[in-house]
Structure 1
Amino acid sequence: MKHQPTIVLILLISISLMLFVFDLTSKIESFKILFNYLLSPAPNLALKIINRQKELGEDIVSFVKIHQENRSLKEEINKLRYVETQNESLRKENSDLTSMLGLSKKSQQKMVAARVISRDPSCWYKTFIINKGRSSGINSNMPVIMFANNEINLVGRVADATKTTAKILLLTDSVSYVPVKNIRTQETGLIKGEEKSMLLLDYLLPFSDVRIGDRIVTSGIGEVFPEGLPVGVVHEVPLQDSIYYKKVLIRPLISWNKIGVVYILTK
């Protein structure tokens, strides 16, 4: 019994040590759990950022690729539209050539087809240049026509010609005079340029019967222009301002802004 207090003391110390170790282990484990909890989101977040940057890079590459493909498609569409426009122009030109060929065979009139290659904005309603000249049999004062509104129409005449080109004087030039007649009444006069795109029928007798809508064609007088080429229609009959002649405003049958292919009467 003498050693009983010692045994009890040792037992108490052992129990205390066990409790301390258990508590320390528990604390260490709790600290480890907390440490892992605090550190574990960082790698995940970094990984997410890296993955997002990778996805963003892929999105940018995909966007650039789609943009390039879209631009290529637009270029292809524009090319197709240009080809279709050219085809439509060729179809119209072929149709015009067919009509002109029929007229040429019927009237025994020789013609040379030419394309407008130059037009000065400062004299838009006066002259233009074509891609045919003396080497194609074209000379000064030859009539120039075109096909419009399903019929032949007078454009003007050749003013001058080089070996490979020619300058065309339009009806709308103020120095251009063409002998014409009214189909309905057969009365004759002279056409000249007036107010840019319009024409003026001059030298009609004061009592001439002229009505809005009357068709005006070449009269054949002077032998420069064949008889019967359509020129225009009466647009306005002004009040008589002369006791000698009546002047009438004529609207041409063609649009001066749509002249592309013309035909020169070489015979």
Structure 2
Amino acid sequence: MKHQPTIVLTFLLGISILLIFFDLNSKVDALKVFFNYLLAPAPEIALKIIDRQRELGENIVSFVNIHQENRRLKEEINKLKFVETQYDSILRENANLCSSLSLSGKVEYKIIAARVISRDPSNWFRTLIIDKGKNSGIKPDMPVIIYFKDEVNLIGRTAQVENTTAKVLMLTDSVSYVPVKNLRTQETALIKGQEKANLVLDYLLPDSDIKIGDKIITSGIGKVFPPGIPVGQVYEIPIQDNIYYKEVLIKPMISWNKIGVVYLLTK
């Protein structure tokens, strides 16, 4: 036990000498480098995973946007196909109209197509509104026709005209009068409306040679309506006591409930 302090002192002295000759800092630095090497990839991998997730999210959003855009484009294509079909139909009708109107003789007419956009439910057989007006060259008293069952038919004339719309006074209106003639006999008369689907052929002489089924067309008198446009057919000849003239009922060759596209004639 007497040598115990000496042993402790010798041990401490040896440790001191080792610390002098042994570079502890370099070893500590080496350990730091080693552990940094082991742990360094972990943050990089985490960042890569986060980036991949972000890219995946962006790709999903992009896919959804592309899908919505494709759907919108398909809808636009379908709309364009519908418009193209309607346009081709109108072009064919225009060609047929021009051919049919060649019977008008020397006068050439320009055809303007328009769509019916409104009708008054309380005055169904009086007027209708079309989507063309002054800006499209529409004027009052322009004949309005329709292409129905491969034939041109008169439906009325323009009345009140605004910048982008116009009101059409139909043949069925009670104030509508159109000079006409019997295609078979060439006898002239007037067609007037009665605010019903059918028309009245007025001012025929009592001895007029008129029969059921006779075709009535415009006469061209008055220079508002070109001659030769079909108006209707005789379907009833009532027995009358009037010794001066007689009235005959005319059935138009169109359906008043199927008027969608109309054509206006201008010289």
Q: TM-score, normalised by structure 1?
A: 0.65
2:134 matches 1:137: no
Measured in 2, the distance between the counterparts of 1:164 and 1:122 equals: 23
**1:100 aligned onto 2:118:** no
Structure 2 partner of 1:238: 238
Give percent identity, aligned residues only.
Answer: 58
* Equivalent in the alignment of 2:117: 117
CA shift, 1:135, in A, is 1.4
Q: Displaced runs of 4+ in structure 1, greater than 2 A?
A: 82-95, 100-108
Cα gap change, 1:219 to 1:133, in 2 (>3 Å):
same
Structure 1's unaligned 5+ residue stretches are 1-78
Matched residue type, 2:220: G
Conserved 8 A contact 2:173-2:195: no
2:183 is the alignment partner of 1:183: yes
Whole-angstrom distance in 1 between the partners of 2:141 and 2:121: 23
Structure 1 letter corresponding to 2:256: W
Deviations 1:131-181 (A, max 9, x none): 111111111111111111211110100011011110000001010000000
Cα separation, 2, equivalents of 1:104 and 1:195: 28
Indicate the RMSD between aligned Cα atoms, in angstroms: 2.3
2:165 is equivalent to residue 165 of structure 1:
yes
Gap runs ≥5 in structure 2: 1-74
1:41-76 deviations in Å (ceiling 9; x for gaps): xxxxxxxxxxxxxxxxxxxxxxxxxxxxxxxxxxxx
Letter in 1 for 2:242: S
Q: TM-score, normalised by structure 2?
A: 0.65
Cα offsets for 1:12-45 (capped at 9, x unmatched): xxxxxxxxxxxxxxxxxxxxxxxxxxxxxxxxxx
Taking the TM superposition and a 5 Å limit, the aligned residue runs for 1:65-104 are: 92-103=89-100
Number of residue-to-residue matches in the alignment: 187
Q: Distance in 2 between matches of 1:131 and 1:176?
A: 22
- Once the two structures are TM-superposed, the CA of residue 99 in structure 1 deviates from its matched residue by 1.7
In structure 2, C-alpha distance between the alignment counterparts of 1:92 and 1:197, rounded to whole Å: 27
| Contact kept? 2:179, 2:191, Cα under 8 Å | yes
Q: 1:201, 1:104 → 2: CA distance?
A: 23
Summarize the Cα distance change of 1:241–1:104 in structure 2 as closer, same or farther, 3 Å threshold.
closer
